[in-house]
Amino acid sequence: MSAPAEYLREEELDHNLIYEVASFPGGHKIFSCQQCGSCSGSCDMAQDMDYTPRKMIEMIRAGMRKEVLGANAQWLCTTCYYCTVRCPRGIEPTEVLYAVKSIGIRDRGVDPNNDSPKFYETFCDTVHKFGRQHEPTLMAIYAFKGNPLRLMGFAPLGIGMLAKGKLGLAPSRVKNVDEVRKLIDRYRNKV
C-alpha cells in the first residue's frame, strides 16, 4: 500500500530551511513556536493565504522548502505586526515571512507569474538608491519590469497626489544614504 499523495518523502525535505530563516533578523525564535495559532487568528489576511502564518512556520520547521517558497502567504502579509504582538512566545512571524521572501527571490523559487517579488525587489532597490521611498520611481521601474501599460492604471492616483502636494516629482536622498545602503547590502549579501 502506497502513502497518500499529500505526504512528502524524507528526501523531498530540506532541513536547512529553518536555519536559513533563523539567520535573518527576527527569525531565530522560530524554534520555540508552540503552534498555538495566535498568529493566524490575529491575521486579517489569513483567509486569503494558501497557508496561514502558523502553518508556514510549521512547514519551514518541517523543511518543506518548495511549498514554502511557492506559497502566497509571504506576499499577502500586510506587515501590521499584529501576529508578532500577540505571540505568547515572542516569535516574529512577520519577520519570518520577510525571510521567506528574501530566500525565495534569491533562489528563484517563486512563481514566475507572481508580480509581488518584482515589486518587493523594486521597493528595496529604490530605498537603496535614495535612502527612502520615492513612489514615482518605484512605480515606473515596477511597471517596466512587467507590464508598462499598468502605469495607466496608476496615473489617476498619481495625478491626484501631485495636485494635493503629497507626491514630489524629483526624488530626494536622506543625509546619510550610505548607512542605509550598508544596512540593505548587509542583508542582501546574507541571502
Tens-digit pLDDT profile for the chain (191 aa)?
A: 444 456 778 888 889 999 999 998 889 999 999 999 999 999 999 999 999 999 999 999 999 999 999 899 999 999 999 999 999 999 999 999 999 998 988 887 667 777 788 888 888 899 999 999 888 888 888 888 877 887 888 888 888 888 898 888 888 888 989 999 988 887 776 55
The burial of 108, by beta-carbon neighbours within 10 Å (0-12 exposed, 13-18 middle, 19 or more buried), is given as exposed
| Candidate CATH numbers 1.10.630.10, 1.20.120.10, 3.40.190.10, 1.10.1060.10; the one for domain 10-107 | 1.10.1060.10
The C-alpha cell of 167 is what?
507626491
Q: What cell does 181 get? A: 545602503
Distance (Å, whole) CA 40 – CA 56 = 10
Cβ(131)–Cβ(173) below 8 Å: yes
State the Cα–Cα distance between residues 114 and 107, nearest whole angstrom.
Answer: 15
**Residues counted in the chain:** 191
Residue 54 sits at φ, ψ, to 5 deg, of: -60, -45
Which of 70, 122, 61 lies closest to 96 in space, CA to CA?
61
* pTM for this model (two decimals): 0.73
Please report, for the chain, the start and end positions of each structural domain, with discontinuous segments joined by +: 10-107, 116-190
Which helix (H) or strand (E) element contains residue 48?
none
> CA quadruple 47, 49, 51, 55: dihedral positive or negative?
negative
Q: Where are the beta strands (DSSP E) in the chain?
A: none
